[in-house]
Structure 1
Amino acid sequence: MAKLPFLISLFLLLLSLASAEIKNLKISDDSRPMILFERFGFTHTGQATITVSAVSVVSSLESVDAARLGFFLLSEESLIQVLLELQTNPSFCVLDSKYITPLFTFRDLSPPPHSFFNRSYPITAPNEYSLFFANCNPESRVSMNVRTELYNLDGRGKVKDYLSAGLTQLPSLYFWFSVFYFLFFGYWIHFCLTNKNSVHRIHLLMGVLVIVKALNLLFAAEDKHYVKVTGTPHGWDVLFYIFQFIRVVLLFTVIVLIGTGWSFLKPFLQEREKKVLIIVIPLQVLANVASIVIGETGPFIKDWVTWNQVFLLIDIICCCAIIFPIVWSIRSLRETSKTDGKAARNLSKLTLFRQFYIVVIGYLYFTRIVVFALRTIASYKFQWVANAAEEIASLAFYAVIFYMFRPVEKNEYFVLDDQEEEAAEMALRDEEFDL
């Protein structure tokens, strides 16, 4: 019965899982009925090489059936069928299912003490498959070393591509987006120097955010490139995770600071705004730790589902937290407009921050909901489309925000005449009446 909720959790998480590269994994005293190792999109030249060594099985029962322990491939469509089989018969062994692609069982291992197995399997039906290990022996625990090597061959059948069929375009994709951000950074520096009398500290922080984003994408491109051609990132993943962490923390910090009006409306932060930063930054640290665990260890670890849930929960909390300062600024501007006699100026600021609020909400919605939907509905051969959509949305978000809060001597939002002032006073009175 324990296999059914486990498979349901995997089914939901597999929608966003995409792994690759050569993995060397160690399973120790594991009693799980099913262990997910990898998910990979194979072409008609796909190969799966699996090496198992140092195998031991400990059971509280008298004997262990070696044929009840084994590896198999399972497509997403077949996973639904297996779920139905387990729902009908909870004691059903998935190795008996007609919907799986069996690879080998422990009966195929060399005799003890070596207990070794190594074989490559050609993929005859191109599709996206998940590599599973099943243990249908109740009250038994398995220990083993597993090396997985999943790849596709090029048209000549010689060069290995260790990226999934739908992700092999990522190195080029990330590289070109990094070029766009480097150009963006150069233009931002030029614009700030041209309008240096209007530059605030927030503009410098925004510039740092852009260059960090560019470096993050560059290292992501190098990471994926080396995984694609060699099966391992050769240390580029470390640089990627470092700059990923810096970028995310900077992005949320910049959104909070702009949302509070820091450096535009006031040179300081209130206590409640400081508390938002104090909450958001540590949460982002924890979220990045969860992201690294998810990305580096893979789904085979026992707590992988928990780390996924932690990451999603923290991301939702942070997205909600950064909205509050923008709402506070809008409310403060509305209240100030009633007392300081500068209705038009406050109305323009109010309009600006309302637009900022809409842009932030749209960005968060698109990158969290729409991108996830794209990954869910897109064919495994076009998984890169979701990554491209996310990067396009991010670039558009940066461009809009940087334009809205650019350093200019005569900001169009704040240069107003007497007629506009009178019109603004009437608009604010009407708005107050409507509220």
Structure 2
Amino acid sequence: MAKLLPSFFLLTLFAAFSLSSAEIRTSSVRSDWRPIIPFDEFGFTHKGRLELNVFKISFSQQPGPDPDLSRVGFFLCTRDSWIHVVQELEDREIGCALKSDLVKRVYTFDQLKDSDNFSTVFHESDADQYTLLFANCLQPLRVSMDVKSVMYNLEGNDRRDYLSAGKTILPRIYFVFSLAYIVLVALWISVLYKKRLTVFRIHFFMLAVLVLKTLNLLCEAEDKSYIKRTGSAHGWDVLFYIFSFLKGVTLFTLIVLIGTGWSFLKPFLADKEKKVLMIVIPLQVVANIAQVVIDETGPFGHDWVTWKQVFLLVDVVCCCAVLFPIVWSIKNLREAARTDGKAAVNLMKLTLFRQYYIVVICYIYFTRVVVYALETITSYRYLWTSVVAAELATLAFYVFTGYKFKPEAHNPYFVLDDEEEEAAAEQLKLEDEFEL
């Protein structure tokens, strides 16, 4: 039972997250003692294939003079089936996951004979989401090997599709969204040109964020397109990581700058606001490094769970950090309004920043919680819907930010007449009476 818990925890966590891509994956295992090692996950259609090539197989710490190597090998298992397999192991109905009727054995090491490598092609006709796993039921046997796994579905004239069944249309989705952002970039440039007399520095920064998001989507579309056709990204993943990093850093920086009122209400940043930027940017660097490690190593690595947790923690910290400047701005202007009658104007101006604060919270909650929940509960065939939901939310957030903070000579949020100022003062008085 104690031996089952680490593997059960690992697979439970692994099942909660989908890998970013289903490309041809090469993995190296060195003196690994784990009873269960997950390698890859893929959504098969009725014409699915798994090509498994394993080289340089060696053992250390043999459990006995004549070990039963049929208890060591690779198998495929669905998420639902694995829950029942674990139950069988706990109830001692079976002594090894490879002996369960609920798994599909791909290759067991008793077939090795005197060889230290093997190659096999497994045909999968039952459409479902499968995880490729390695079982080692001969403790304390340690295994070393180089594993190359290739998963794909056959389409049309037996053309290979290396993307999972639920992600095969992702190249088109990313390309369509990149076109939408190209339109936004052109529209924003037009606005900046027409309103060039009222343009602030923040507006050019917003243009840079849009451009980086566009390039990020284009690279991701090409990345997924090459993986779909060839099983490899051919270098497009490097560009994707670069633009993803720049997009993430600039987006969080933009939220901080807008939240502090920089370039709108004041031309400078306070020390504590600078500290927020100094925290957010390095954390984004860590988050992007963690993301690269997760994508490149896959779940078979010893530190995969740790890196996954680091990425989630850093992402949450970044999301919380960008909210502080907005809260500080609201608090400072509210306090100033109580001591300075003219400051009632600033309180009225802050209406926009209150709205923005709510929108930022909704955006973070939706993209971090709702999208994750959607990906978890959605059938493997419709995993692309979580991507569409996240990109639609991001697009709506960008449009809202641009519309509310566009350059305008008589923006009602920044210019108030006497009647509006009196209304603001009256509103402040009512709020004070309500608090008392």
- Which interval holds the TM-score relative to the shorter structure? over 0.9
The DSSP-based 3-state class of the residue aligned with 1:338 is: helix
Q: Give the match for residue 125 of structure 2.
A: 124
8 Å Cα contact 1:276-1:321 kept in structure 2: yes
Are the aligned partners of 2:94 and 2:100 in contact in 1 as well (CA < 8 Å)?
no
| 8 Å Cα contact 2:37/2:135 also seen in 1 | yes
- Displacement after TM superposition at 1:47 (Å): 0.6
Report the Cα distance in structure 1 between the residues aligned to 2:58 and 2:421, rounded to whole angstroms.
81
Which of these residues, 58, 61, 73, is aligned with residue 59 of structure 1? 61
**Corresponding residue of 1:133:** 134
The within-5 A match list for 1:13-412 is: 13-18=14-19, 19-63=21-65, 64-89=67-92, 92-112=95-115, 115-156=116-157, 158-412=158-412
Distance between the aligned counterparts of 1:17 and 1:167, measured in 2? 11
Please say if residues 63 and 138 of structure 2, whose CA atoms lie closer than 8 Å, have aligned partners that are also in contact.
no
Q: How far off its partner does 1:320 sit?
A: 0.8
TM-score normalised over the length of structure 1: 0.96
Letter in 1 for 2:69: A
How far 1:91 moved relative to its partner?
A: 8.7
- d(CA) in 2 for partners of 1:60 and 1:252? 53
8 Å CA contact retained: 1:3, 1:90: no
Match of 1:10? 11
**Structure 1: distance between partners of 2:195 and 2:299:** 50
State how far apart, in whole Å, the 2-side matches of 1:39 and 1:282 are.
31
CA distance in 2 between counterparts of 1:339 and 1:27 reads 67
Q: 1:60 to 1:154 in 2, by over 3 A?
A: closer
Distance in 1, Cα, partners of 2:434 & 2:9: 49
Contact conserved, 1:287 with 1:310, CA < 8 A, in 2?
A: yes
SS at match of 1:341: coil
* Partner Cα distance (1:92, 1:62) in 2: 17
Q: Give how far 1:408 is off.
A: 0.8
Give the Å deviation of 1:5. 3.2
Unpaired segments ≥5 residues, structure 1: none
1:23 Cα deviation (Å)? 1.1
DSSP-derived class of the 2:299 partner: coil
Q: Count matched residues.
A: 432
Distance change (3 Å), C-alpha of 1:287 and 1:197: same
How far has the Cα of 1:90 moved from its partner? 11
2:150 partner letter: E
Residue 336 of structure 1, CA deviation: 1.9
In structure 1, what is the Cα distance between the partners aligned to 2:261 and 2:11? 43
Paired with 1:201 and 1:110, the residues of 2 have a C-alpha distance of 70
TM-score normalised per structure 2: 0.96
Structure 1 residue 11: deviation in Å?
Answer: 1.7
Q: Kindly state the Cα deviation for residue 89 of structure 1 after the two structures are TM-superposed.
A: 4.0
- Percentage of identical aligned residues: 52
User: How far 1:80 moved relative to its partner?
Assistant: 1.3
Q: Quick check: 1:4–1:87 contact (8 Å CA) kept in 2?
A: no
- In structure 1, the partner of 2:417 is 417
What do residues 261-302 of structure 1 show as CA deviations (whole Å, max 9, x unaligned)? 111111111111111111111111001000000111111111
CA positional deviation for 1:13: 3.1
Distance apart, 1:69 and its partner CA: 0.7
Is contact 2:7–2:34 with CA below 8 Å preserved after alignment?
no
Q: Contact conserved, 1:54 with 1:144, CA < 8 A, in 2?
A: yes
1:412 counterpart letter in structure 2: P
Kept in 2, the 8 Å contact 1:53–1:145? The answer is yes
On the 8 A contact 2:74/2:134 being kept in 1, the answer is yes
Q: Report the secondary structure of 2:121's partner residue.
A: strand
Take 2:348 and 2:169, find their aligned partners in 1: how far apart are those partners? 44
Question: Do the aligned partners of 2:41 and 2:129 also contact (CA within 8 Å) in 1?
Answer: yes
1:432 matched residue in structure 2: 432
Contact in 1 for aligned 2:206/2:254 (Cα 8 Å): yes
Distance 1:265 1:14 in 2: 47
d(CA) in 2 for partners of 1:271, 1:345:
25
